[in-house]
Amino acid sequence: MLQSLGKVDWIGMIIFIPSVTAILVPFTMAGIIFKWNSPAAIAPVVLGVVGLVVLAIQQKHATNPMFRPGLFAKRVTNFSFFGLGVFGVCVNMIFYYLVVYWSGVRGYSEIITGLFLLPETITIPVAAIVIGITMRQRGQIRWAMLLGWPLTTVSIGLLYFLDTQTHVVVLVFINLLVGLGAGTIVSALNVTLLASTKREDNGHAMAMGFLSKSAGMCLGIAIGTAVFTTQMDNRLKDNEDAEMVAESFMRMLHGVKDDPAGQEIIVRTLRILWWICFGLSFLAGILCISCKYPGYYENGRAEGGPVELKHRESDSGVDSSSDRK
C-alpha cells in the first residue's frame, strides 16, 4: 500500500483541486453574494488559472504525472475530451433548467416534472447501448459522430422554441431527440478514447474522459446559475409587476404558474441557456466530425476470438508496425 501511495502524484493533486475550485466558486456566487467585477469574483479566477499553468509545468517534470502527456498527443483524443466536457455542460444544464421550465412555466408538480424528464433519462443509456453494439458490429466510429452531433445540436436548438403554449407531445418529442443524440455521442466519444490511445494508457484515457465530463457537469450548473441569476435580476427590474427578486425566484416557482408575466420572464431567460448549449454542441460537433478516426477492430470483424481495439499513432489513419505486431 505504501508503495502504491508513493506513486500517486500528490503535488499535482494539491495544485489541481484548489485551482479548479477557485475557478468554479465565483460562478456560483457572483451576482448573488458579490458583484461580477468585484475582487472577490476576479481574484479566485485569476489564482485558479495561474494554478493550472503551474500544474502544466509540474506535470512535465513529475515522475508519475496525474495527466499523462501521451494522452494529449492526438487531435482526435483531445477533441473527444472536449466533447465529453461539452456533454457534461449541456446535459446538466438541460436537466437542471428543464425542471425550472416544467415547474415554473408549466406549473407541474415534482412528480409530474420527474415523469417529463424520463424521455432523456431513459433514451440516453438506451441510445448509448445500441450505438455501442452497432459500432462493434460495423467496426467503425465516425458514422456515430456524424449521426450524434447533428442530432444533439438540432434537438438542443429546438428547445429555444419552448414557451407557455407548446404542446406536451411536442415537448416530449424534442426531449426524446435530445436524449437520443446525447446517448449517441457519449458512447462514440468513450469508444474513441479507447481506440485512439495506447493499450497501457486506456485506463488513464477513460479516467481523463470521466474527469472532463464531471468538470463539464459542474460548469453546466455554475454557468447556468450565473446566467440565470443575472438575467432574472435584470428582467425582474424591468418588470413593474414583478414583486420578487432573483435570489428567491427559484423557491417561488409554484407561485409563478398563476403569473403570466413571470412565466414569460423564465422562458426568455431559459432561451439564453439553450443558445449557450446549442453553441457549445455545434462547436464540439464541428471539431469531432473534422477528425479522422481509427477503426474499431484490428483486422475487421474477429472470428472465433477476442476483438482487439485498433491503436493509431497519428490521426492520419496509419498504424504503427509495433501495434500491428
Q: What is the DSSP letter of 64?
A: S
* pLDDT at residue number 174: 92
Radius of gyration over alpha carbons of the chain, in Å?
A: 22
Per-residue pLDDT band for 317 (boundaries 50, 70, 90) equals: very low
Q: Mean per-residue pLDDT for 63-84?
A: 87
What mean pLDDT value characterizes the chain?
Answer: 80
What tens digit of pLDDT does each residue of 167-218 get?
889 988 999 999 999 999 999 999 999 888 888 888 889 999 999 999 899 8
The distance of Cα 242 from the centroid of its chain, to the nearest Å, equals 34
Per-residue pLDDT band for 106 (boundaries 50, 70, 90) equals: confident
Looking up cell 443575472, which residue turns up? 230
Per-residue pLDDT band for 299 (boundaries 50, 70, 90) equals: very low
From residue 206, alpha-carbon distances to 191, 209, 319, 325 in Å are 9, 5, 22, 24
Q: Which residues of 220-256 are buried (b: 16+ CB within 10 A; e: fewer)?
A: bbbbbbbbbbbbbbebbeeeeebebebeebeeebeeb
Give residue 171's identity as a one-letter amino acid code: L
8 A C-beta contact, residue 317 and residue 140: no
How many beta carbons lie within 10 A of that of residue 160, not counting itself?
16
Look at 25 and 43; give whichever has higher pLDDT.
Answer: 43
Q: Mean per-residue pLDDT for 270-285?
A: 93
Look at 315 and 95; give whichever has higher pLDDT.
Answer: 95
First and final C-alpha spacing in the chain? 35
8 A C-beta contact, residue 206 and residue 184: no
Q: Provide the strand spans (E) within the chain.
A: none
What tens digit of pLDDT does each residue of 234-276 get?
665 555 444 444 445 555 555 556 667 777 878 888 899 999 9
* pLDDT at residue number 4: 81
From residue 69, alpha-carbon distances to 48, 78, 176, 275 in Å are 21, 11, 38, 34
Alpha carbon distance 202, 210 (integer Å): 12
Fold classification of 70-316 (topology level): Growth Hormone; Chain: A; (1.20.1250)
Task: Give 44: exposed, middle or buried? Use CB within 10 Å, 0-12, 13-18, 19+.
Answer: buried
Per-residue pLDDT band for 104 (boundaries 50, 70, 90) equals: confident
Give residue 196's identity as a one-letter amino acid code: S
Q: At residue 82, does pLDDT exceed 90?
A: yes
Q: Domain residue spans in the chain?
A: 1-67, 70-316
* pLDDT at residue number 309: 41
Alpha carbon distance 96, 114 (integer Å): 11
Scanning 101-162, the segments in alpha helix (DSSP H) are 110-116, 118-138, 142-158
